Each structure stands twice: as C-alpha cells, then as structure tokens.
C-alpha cells in the first residue's frame, strides 16, 4: 500500500513516516498544499493522510480540487482537537475519516487500515482472501494453522494481492503500490518477489497472465 503523507510539521511527519513504514506502507511526503495536490494528481495512492492546515494551499482546498478532478483516493484528514468546523468542512469536501491532533499513532494507523479495507470491500477486522489471513501486526500470513513469515516487500505485495483477489494486476501497478517514489525499482523485482511468495504459499495462489500480469486467488 502506498500512502501520501501531507503534513508540514517536520518532526511529526518524520515520526509518522517511520511508523507507517514499519507497518508495511510505502510513504511519499509533501510539506505544503501545492506539492500535495500535485502528487495526489499525478501518482497513484491507496490513501492520503492530509493535514488541513498546510501552507501555500490549505488541505481543504487540495481535497476540494482532487474531488473536482474526479480523484476518489481515500483521504484521512488531520484536524485540530477542538476545531469541529474543520471536521465538518473536511467531510463536506469529500474526506473519508479524520483524526484530531494530538493523536496516538496506533489510532491513526487503525483508522487508516480500516479505511483501506473498506475501500476494497473488506469491512472485517483483517485482510482475508483465498483461505489466507494476513497478520498486519506481525507482517505474516496464516494458512490454516501454519504461520508463514514474510519479508517487508513480500508483506506489502501479498497485502495488495489479497485486497484485489481475482483481479489482473500488472507489474507496473504492483510496483506503483508497494514502492514509494524514491525507491530503486529493478525491471524484474516484482517477478522475483512473486516467485518468493509462490515458494512460501504454494504456486497455485498466484497465476501468471502472459502479457498482462498476475492474478491472486480465483480469477474473475
């Protein structure tokens, strides 16, 4: 999952980036509204964490502009603790959820995970598909009674597969959703990690569609 974190407080944004990265997210950052709006318009994100008090262009204006452009990326807004009007304005502009500052990182991450799962029609407390259950805390996967350990990239890749069971996912799409914009992306890196997952899960979980990409679970 790739996240855009739009926050101008450098200390807070650095801490959040580290926390989100440890939880298996690829994170791009923007410190002002102009950069945030540009990144959100030209890059593909699974969710955005958007501070409404950004400099140069407010988060509220950024959100309104995205929605006018037809950009339906899930947005979790950050608001001041007592600014109830910001929450109302954010929802009116198209926000999907909010967290008030100051906040506990655990709450933000829980809301972010729930928002992403709802977007992919998985409303339960975890990601489940094809008989597998993802453990997002341990970054492992449960198959029956067997716990399968995953590397960081394998976890990101499998989580995206499990949120999109049956869909044909190209290498380009997978790359866009598991790496941030500054990562070094080799031409065959997705193929390598897919093979690692097949070795751990079983070859039948991920099938190759020649010239198209990969399908996890039963194809649609």
Where do the structural domains in the chain lie, given as residue ranges? 2-119, 128-216
Among 34-38, 98-102, 103-107, name the most confident range.
Answer: 34-38
Q: For residue 165, give every residue at least 6 positions away whose Cβ sits within 8 Å of its Cβ, in sequence order, or none.
A: 129, 130, 216, 217, 218
With a pLDDT cut of 90, the percent of the chain lying above it is 71
Query: Would you say 64 and 93 are in contact if contact means Cβ atoms under 8 Å apart?
Result: yes
- What's the confidence (pLDDT) of residue 79? 87
Q: Locate tokens 């976890």: which residue?
A: 155
Architecture of domain 2-119: 3-Layer(aba) Sandwich (3.40)
- What's the confidence (pLDDT) of residue 182? 79
Distance of CA 200 to the CA centre of its chain: 23
Domain 128-216 has CATH 1.10.10.10: yes
User: Average pLDDT of 18-44?
Assistant: 95
Mean of the per-residue pLDDT values of the chain:
91
- What's the confidence (pLDDT) of residue 218? 62
How do residues 45-102 score in pLDDT, each as one tens digit? 999 999 999 999 999 999 999 999 999 999 999 988 677 788 888 899 999 999 998 8
User: Average pLDDT of 155-177?
Assistant: 93
How do residues 115-154 score in pLDDT, each as one tens digit? 998 888 776 667 889 899 999 888 999 998 899 999 999 9
The residue length of the chain stands at 220
pTM given for the model = 0.85
**Per-residue DSSP letters for 117-172?**
HHHTT--SSS-EETTEEEETTTTEEEETTEEEE--HHHHHHHHHHHHSTT-EE-HH
């Amino acid at each position: 999952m790739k996240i855009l974190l739009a926050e101008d407080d450098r200390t807070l944004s650095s801490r959040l980036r580290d926390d989100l990265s440890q939880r298996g997210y690829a994170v791009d950052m923007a410190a002002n509204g102009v950069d945030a709006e540009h990144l959100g318009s030209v890059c593909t994100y699974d969710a955005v964490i958007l501070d409404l008090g950004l400099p140069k262009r407010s988060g509220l204006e950024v959100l309104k502009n995205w929605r006018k452009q037809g950009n339906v990326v899930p947005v979790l807004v950050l608001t001041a603790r007592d600014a109830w009007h910001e929450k109302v304005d954010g929802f009116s502009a198209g926000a999907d959820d909010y967290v008030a500052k100051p906040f506990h990182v655990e709450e933000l991450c829980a809301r972010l995970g729930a928002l992403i799962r709802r977007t992919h029609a998985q409303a339960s407390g975890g990601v489940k598909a094809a008989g597998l259950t993802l453990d997002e805390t341990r970054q492992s996967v449960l198959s029956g009674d067997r716990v399968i350990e995953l590397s960081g990239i394998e976890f990101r890749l499998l989580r995206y597969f499990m949120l999109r069971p049956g869909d044909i996912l190209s290498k380009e799409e997978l790359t866009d959703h598991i790496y941030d914009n500054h990562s070094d992306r080799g031409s065959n890196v997705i193929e390598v990690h897919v093979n690692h997952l097949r070795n751990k899960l079983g070859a039948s979980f991920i099938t190759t569609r020649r010239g198209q990409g990969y399908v996890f679970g039963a194809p649609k």
